Amino acid sequence: MRKPKKQKRKIDAAPSASLDLRVALNVILDQVMIQLKANAANILLFDPHTKTLISAARSGFRSHASASDPRLGEDRAGRAALDRRIITVPDLAAEPAEFVRSAKFAEEGFVSYVAIPLIAQGQVKGMLEVLYRVPLSPTEDWLRSLEALEGQVAMAIDNASLLDNLQSANLDLTRAYETTLEGWSKALALRNKETEGHTARVTELTVRLAHAMGVPDADLVHIRRGALLHDIGKMGIPDQILLKPGPLTDEEWVVMKKHPAHGYELLSPIPYLRQALDVPYCHHEKWEGTGYPRGLKGEQIPLAARICAVANVWDALRSNVPYRPAWSQERAIDYIREQAGKHFDPAVVDVFLRLIGQSV
């Protein structure tokens, strides 16, 4: 029994079709069913910690209750994995005690069974079970084809598992990064004694505004990180200036206005954050060109920074601070509207006003 090359390519290509291991296994299983003309098939993955073969993809079974997860050396599948050899049972009725399954398995009506250990790079990756509801008389050619198929499936599963593990590792790393950023943000808030929740509110509003303006989801991730760290440069501002309860002198303002540049210097060496730099570096630039640190004007200012500028000022105005009480919503809205085309990008202001339910 020779396998068509087209089907082989489908098995080999399965992992590249999806980073989802379960999807890849089902693609593989479909091709196994076609090539071996099986009535049912089951792919079990080996868990080296529990020494158990765990069913990961099944096809052709009448009931999920007929599944079982044998341990290494247990049942035909476990023994085939332990011995690293193909086991065929042409007549299941002839040796019922040798084939331990759930009570529901008898209702499946299987007559013949084949267990194929899946070995890649010298390690057992799992087990492929192939079942028939008709008698099976395996020939030498059929067995040779089966052995070749075992190598293809094992390698495909190994590759798919590597991709799945890499995806999981990347997800864990991303979560660790995000937790670190949130920790930096909270550390700054504690030092700065800012209004409780300011950074979280600015971040949430910045992301909402960006989404409403049609910013792609892939870019929203970077905008969120930038908003979380929009004031991180204040870590470089001396306490006597950062924590001063009253207005700053002209000389002190010169120092305070350096915090976007400090933020850039702090974050730019981190490749992970380079696409988030626009917000901490440019959120104090003004549409008319009178902002800092670089005096950018209009669309020279990155869109993410223009969006965060509105969110940052809005939250500052609506919060109580030592030198003034919070503004009313009406007064803050009037200020934001009046600053369109001066401090703020008019297009961002329009979306902001619509977002909070105000007419433009």
User: Looking at the annotation, which residues are catalytic?
Assistant: 234
Tell me the three state secondary structure of residue 196: coil
Distance CA 290, CA 195 (A): 26
Contact 313, 336 (CB under 8 A): yes
Distance CA 265, CA 268 (A): 6
Query: Minimal CA–CA distance to 11: which of 115, 142, 149?
Result: 149
Q: How far apart, in Å, are the Cα atoms of 255 and each of 235, 292, 322, 323, 330?
A: 12, 12, 20, 19, 33
Backbone angles phi, psi at 53, to 5 degrees: -95, 115
* Neighbouring residues of 309: CB distance < 8 A, sequence distance ≥ 6: 283, 284, 285, 286, 343, 344, 345, 348
Distance CA 5, CA 309 (A): 59
| Residue 24 one-letter amino acid | A
CA atoms within 13 A on the CB side of 179: 6
Contact 60, 36 (CB under 8 A): no
How large is the angle between the packed helices 198-212 and 303-317, nearest 10 degrees? 130
Query: Sign of torsion, CA 314 315 319 322?
Result: negative
Query: Sign of torsion, CA 303 309 315 317?
Result: negative
- List, as one string, the DSSP characters of 197-231: THHHHHHHHHHHHHHHTT--HHHHHHHHHHHHTTT
